[in-house]
Homo-oligomer: A and B are copies of this chain.
Amino acid sequence: MTVTARRVAINTGGGDAPGLNAVIHGAVYAARNLGWQIFGIRDGYDGFLEPQNYPGGGGLVELRRSAVREISHLGGTILGTTNRGDPFCRPTRQQDGTFKDVDRSDELMDCFRKNRLDALIAVGGDGSLGIAHKLQSKGLRVIGVPKTIDNDLESTVLTFGFNTAVSFATECIDRLHSTALSHQRIIVVEVMGRHAGWIALHSGLAGRADAILIPEIPFEIEKVAAHLCRKHEEGKAYSIVVVAEGAKPVGGDVTVRSREAGRADRLGGIGETVAARLQELTGKENRCVVLGHLLRGGSPTAIDRILGVTFGAAAIHALSMGMDGVMVALNPPRIDFVPIQQAIAHLKLVPRDSEFVLVSRALDICFGGGE
């Protein structure tokens, strides 16, 4: 604990999430309070590995208070987050013009050394944190800050970005209610959530959905259709179905069967499949709306700003206490520090008997399975 960092770097990797700038804000202020210098690496590790793109050494920028004072409310990340790939197996153009995966981690470590950087604060999802962990093995001091809009990391109760995504998804669902009601339609809303259904569960519950389909509870489309028809007979003539992008039917292949072969992956996700099947089964006109990237952008909510600055400051605090290889985590009301490898080992999935699933069922919301 006697030797502490004096020049630290920070970068942001993977898909953007509202609150990244707040993390930077928190880290820079906390570092400056200790008299440290702090630098941002541009665009993941590109600022180091693709110097030709940053004339005048612009791949690494010193971050002063004045530069980050007014950013915590902005979406995106001032450092950028394009991802040309893992430094350990990075697609690199060869002299003959072809690309080959190359381990450029030694070169990367050199960049840290040449710039006399004592430590890295890596803000990212499990991919970025895995890379950070490998850099630690090579001798770099590393603190991780978790970023997952899906809120699917077991080691932290909450991460920034999730609340903004849920809030905007809920606002969009609110808007769709009036159309669904006026037209007596089924509207299917697809939200993010490849492995975990937290966004779908929270926004569906807040948005008064009739059904919520999540990866953790494989659904039977016939059950969903029957549920909507029963509610229709009880007087609710329209329906809202919220579907996580990773939701899948029992058995897992109904999706495939209902889609014509050869369609490009980007066209027609699970939301459209569900919509098409529900139309067949219920005979009711329907529409599918894919919120997708709308949920990643925009100004972070108050919660996500607070989480962001707190995580950023905590990362510096961890360094100042001599920690290494840990990830910042929220364990209310405390901030904890968890070994990175352990932190990213387990996804936090929606338990079938979690409080909010039970409440949703009590509110007559169907999950299409496990009933």
Binding site for B on A (CB under 8 A): 12, 15-16, 18, 20, 25-26, 29-30, 33, 43, 65-66, 69-70, 72-77, 80-83, 157, 163, 166-170, 172, 174-179, 181-184, 187, 202-203, 205-208, 234-236, 260, 262-264, 266-268, 272, 276, 287-290, 292-294, 296-299, 301-303, 305-306, 309-310, 313, 332-335, 354-356, 359, 362-364
Contact = CB atoms under 8 A, between A and B. Distances in A.
A39 to B, nearest CB: 19
B362 A178 contact: no
B182 A80 contact: yes
B363 A29 contact: yes
Contacts of A301: 167, 170, 206, 301
A75 B177 CA distance: 9
B293 A289 contact: yes
A289 B293 CA distance: 7
Given A208-B72, A355-B333, A82 B183 contact: yes
B29 A364 contact: yes
Contact of A355 (B25, B187, B287, B334): B334
Nearest to A292: B289
A359 B76 contact: no
B362 A313 contact: yes
Contacts of A72: 206, 208
A263 B272 contact: no
A177 B174 CA distance: 19
A172 B236 CA distance: 30
Given A75-B178, A176-B293, A33 B362 contact: yes
Contact of A184 (B20, B33, B80, B206): B80
A303 B166 CA distance: 9
A202 B303 CA distance: 8
Contacts of A235: 66
Nearest to A316: B362
Nearest to A287: B293
Nearest to A235: B66
B310 A175 contact: no
Nearest to A69: B236
Contacts of A266: 272, 288
Contacts of A183: 15-16, 81-83
B292 A287 contact: yes
Given A289-B293, A359-B26, A302 B81 contact: no
B73 A174 contact: yes
5 contacts: A16-B182, A33-B362, A82-B182, A174-B298, A176-B293
Given A305-B206, A333-B354, A359-B313, A179 B293 contact: yes
A179 B297 contact: yes
Contact of A208 (B73, B82, B202): B73
A361 to B, nearest CB: 9
Contact of A306 (B25, B33, B206, B234): B206
Contacts of A202: 302, 306
Given A172-B294, A176-B293, A182 B332 contact: no
